Amino acid sequence: MSKKRGLSLEEKREQMLQIFYDSQDFYLLKELEKMGPKKGVISQSVKDVVQTLVDDDLVLRDKIGTSVYFWSLPSCAGNQLRTTYSKLESDLSNSKKRYMELVEQRDDLKRGREDSDEREDALEELKAVESRHKKLKEELAAYADSDPSALEAMKDATEVAHSAANRWTENIFNLQQWCSTTFPQAKEQLEHMYREAGITEDFDYVP
């Protein structure tokens, strides 16, 4: 009979967080060390696991008198995710700006010149940030019910994103117009470049 596999660090973190979420109470470390084994986390590991949660701002810690108490609410995770979300929003905007700058530089080069390594790196970076951005939005949505302020914050973020998307769309249309006017003899090459960049015939403003 095979030996049962122990929990990974991430699974241990999830189990310890669930203790806080289920009770929404305050605990001493020794209390958590007694409760941990019921969740599959051995008592000797509880201190280190809880410390990683404190480091990530998912669990709060405070000293009252001579005792140190730990606690966490679903909204704590939501706040931490919103901080990361804001950073990724900034990273995404910077990546798109960098990408457009590189596209403009490429259009200024002689026809037939191969793509630069810098542009390829920028495209890969943009794809990675967009993927992380999408995943974070999905995770953030899971905490909306436990944090009333999240709905208003997400509403504001949606309006900002909507405006930014249409602003970038306008920039792309302007860039296409400039390319067509400046390089009329390169129409076929330009259309091929647009397709490579994901700008297809159905590309339009967000309603």
Per-residue pLDDT, 1: 47
The CA–CA distances, whole Å, from 45 to 3, 13, 63, 104, 180 equal 19, 10, 21, 54, 64
Which pLDDT score, from 0 to 100, does residue 102 have? 78
pLDDT of residue 69: 93
Question: Tokens representing 34?
Answer: 């007694």
Residue 115, C-beta contacts closer than 8 angstroms, at least 6 positions apart: 106
The pLDDT of residue 150 is 58
pLDDT of residue 28: 92
Please state the separation of Cα 91 from the chain's center in Å. 9
pLDDT for position 57: 80
Identify whether the C-beta of residue 96 lies closer than 8 Å to the C-beta of residue 161. Answer: no
- The pLDDT, as a whole number, for residue 48 is 92
CA–CA dist 159, 176 (Å, integer): 26
Beta carbons within 10 angstroms of residue 48's beta carbon? 11
pLDDT tens, position by position, for the chain (207 residues)?
455 667 888 888 888 888 888 888 899 999 989 988 988 889 898 999 999 988 888 888 888 889 899 988 766 666 666 666 677 777 777 788 888 887 777 676 655 455 667 767 777 888 888 888 888 888 777 766 666 565 566 666 677 766 777 777 777 767 777 777 877 776 777 677 767 776 777 767 767
Global pTM reads 0.38
